[in-house]
Amino acid sequence: MKPRAVISAALGLQIALDVLLVALVGLAVGSRWAEALSAGGLDAGAWGALACGLGLLLVYGVGRSRINVRDTAVDAPRGAWWPVGAWVAALIAGWALLLLLTPVALWIAFPLMFLEMHVLGPRRGIVAVAATTACAIGGAILGGQQLVGSILGPTFGGLVAIAVVLGFETIVRESQGRQELIDDLVRTRADLAASEREAAVATERERLAREIHDTLAQGFSSIELLLRAADTALAEVEAPGAFAEGAPGPTAARTARGYVTRSRLAAQQNLAEARRFVRDLAPADLESATLVGALERVADRTALAAGGGLAVTVEASGQPHPLPATVETALLRIAQSALANVVQHAGATRAAVTLSFLGDAVALDVVDDGRGFDPLALRAPHPTPEGGSAVGQVERGDGATGAATPPPRSGFGLTAMRSRVAELGGTFSLESSPGEGTALAVHLPLDPQETR
């Protein structure tokens, strides 16, 4: 599409060309009539000039109504002999006849040259301009004008017409090129904005998935384990003779009630986490305690959810100090998810959480003595966010290494951990072997200038 300024300029030039042609034809016919009247009366030449002038205007008007001169693209194929070529030839013929009757018609050559260049294109247009120039020179010489002027005037006019039309079309092409570039930039910006929106949606979706997995999903898992234990205890209560003397009925009833109470507390904690999650607040454990204290709370809840069969310890090394909120939240969520995996999959009796303050970095290690697994048998790694350096390495007991990913049945846990670490520019590693437990290690760099 042409820019609006170019369209307006083309329209103005075409109207000026129309007016100029009509005026020059009228001038030529009028001068011939004035000459005849001054000589004593209208003669055949005067009437012939009128007929030629009207015929020329008629041919021009018909062609203008049939041929779209102004909207012809400068880079479109032009110069077809029909109907454009025939129209131009008819105009030249009519003008040549008028030129034979009155030398004033010589001036009509100049608007014709502009028209020929535009509608016929650079190559055929120049040929038509050359033919028009030759006719103009011949008419001027036959009209008794000086030889030098008869040659230089039409020649100069033809060169000017060629230069002006070619220059204008060059400007049009450049304008069209700029408009196409602007259109491409607009489309590119729209595509980029759409891509950024999609990326933002994907990032937010991943963040929400991690938060849900590390809070609500783990809480529901704990509730499910506690209720399963309560169901087992209730089965003993419902057994025949459960309340006979020395039978386990009363003890089993108290045990079941304890599991139900723990389930209710876990549900309350889950509800509180959900409300804080909706309000986009920090984890509740970090609101009233340090990171070490929050890890100890998570460890206590994990041991409680395991029904007493798992001992969880928390240790801190180095000089504890406040960490950026994003780092503390990530470490707490990773520890929650890792300990939940220990309860659900490891079958461990002991788990140790170690938080190490290393000055310009912080490290988190979660180790258990569970059944372990073969990391090399896992599926291909899930891609981490661009720009992170979480390598996600796993190491088997025999020293072989590979990409760390959760087992097909374990879902989102390890993938979410790696994503959290990658976003903070840290490293993530996992070591495990069947029957030898699992060790998870996270290392996050710290910015000395960043404060909580």
The confidence score (pLDDT) of residue 394 equals 46
Residue 179 has pLDDT above 80, yes or no: yes
Res 367 pLDDT > 90: yes
CB atoms within 10 A of CB 287: 10
Strand partners, 354: 315, 365
User: Is residue 130 over pLDDT 60?
Assistant: yes
Ranking 64-78, 185-199, 344-358 by mean pLDDT, the lowest is 64-78
Alpha-carbon span 193 to 199, nearest angstrom: 10
Give CB contacts under 8 A, 24+ apart, made by 31-39.
31/102, 31/104, 32/101, 32/102, 32/104, 35/102
Residue 396: its pLDDT value, please? 43
Dihedral (Cα; 288, 313, 306, 417), 10-degree rounding: 70
The predicted pLDDT at position 452 comes to: 46
**pLDDT band, very low/low/confident/very high, at 79 (cuts 50, 70, 90):** low
Q: Distance between CA 76 and CA 86 in Å, rounded?
A: 19
The 10 Å Cβ neighbour count of residue 73 is 12
Q: What is the pLDDT of residue 1?
A: 44
pLDDT at 353: 95
Tokens of 300: 């206590």
pLDDT of residue 404 exceeding 90, the answer is no
pLDDT at 52: 92
171 is written with which tokens?
A: 């400007």
**What pLDDT, on a 0 to 100 scale, did the predictor assign at position 334?**
92
Residue 395 has pLDDT above 60, yes or no: no
Q: What CATH architecture applies to the domain 309-452? A: 2-Layer Sandwich (3.30)
Q: Which residues contact 416 (CB under 8 A, 6 or more apart)?
A: 209, 210, 213, 214, 333, 337
Kindly provide the b/e burial profile for residues 263-273, where b requires at least 16 CB atoms within 10 angstroms of the residue's own CB: beebeebbeeb
Structure tokens at 31: 């001068």
Q: How far apart are CA 60 and CA 42, in angstroms?
A: 26
Distance of CA 205 to the CA centre of its chain: 18
Q: 361-368 and 438-445 as β-strands: parallel, antiparallel, unpaired?
A: antiparallel
Please tell me the distance from the alpha carbon of residue 215 to that of residue 104, in angstroms, as a whole number.
Answer: 96
pLDDT value of residue 70: 57
Report CA dihedral (262, 266, 268, 271) to the nearest 10 degrees. -160
pLDDT at 355: 94
What residue spans in the chain does CATH classification 3.30.565.10 cover? 309-452
Confidence of residue 406 (pLDDT cuts 50, 70, 90): very low
257-301: pLDDT as tens digits? 887 887 888 787 777 777 666 655 557 677 778 899 999 988 988
- Residue 409 clears pLDDT 70, i.e. is over it: no
Q: Give strand pairing partners of 244.
A: none
The pLDDT of 374-390, averaged and rounded, is: 49
What is the distance between the alpha carbons of residues 31 and 378, in angstroms, rounded to a whole number?
100
Give the per-residue pLDDT at 350.
92
Give the mean model confidence (pLDDT) for residues 371-375: 82
pLDDT digits (tens, 9 = 90+) for 216-245: 777 777 787 778 888 887 887 777 766 666
Distance CA 427, CA 441 (A): 8
The fraction of the chain above a pLDDT of 90, given in percent, is 18
- pLDDT score recorded for residue 429: 92
Peptide bond into 3 cis (omega under 30): no
Q: What angle do CA 328, 331, 333 make, to 5 degrees?
A: 105
Beta bridge partners of 314: 353
Model confidence at 127, in pLDDT bands (50, 70, 90)? Answer: confident
Q: Phi then psi for 306, rounded to 5 degrees?
A: -75, -5
- The confidence score (pLDDT) of residue 385 equals 37
pLDDT of residue 383: 41
In this predicted structure, the answer to whether residue 420 has a pLDDT above a threshold of 90 is no
pLDDT value of residue 58: 92
Position 359 scores a pLDDT of 86
pLDDT in tens, 80-103: 677 888 888 899 999 889 988 888
Three-class SS string for 278-319? HCCCCCHHHHCCCHHHHHHHHHHHHHHHCCCCCEEEEEEECC
- Is residue 70 packed enough to be buried (19+ CB in 10 Å), middle (13-18) or exposed (0-12)? middle
* End-to-end CA gap in the chain: 56
Evaluate if residue 36 carries a pLDDT over 70.
Answer: yes
pLDDT band at 346 (very low <50, low <70, confident <90, very high): confident
Torsion of CA 29, 30, 32, 35, to 10 degrees: 180
Supply the pLDDT for residue 170: 83
The reported pLDDT for the residue numbered 381 is 45
pLDDT score at 76 = 59
- Quickly tell me which residue has 């386990």 as its tokens: 248
112-121, 323-332, 426-435, range with the lowest pLDDT: 112-121
Q: Mean pLDDT, the chain, as a whole number?
A: 79
d(CA 73, CA 58): 25
What local confidence, expressed as pLDDT, does residue 272 receive? 72
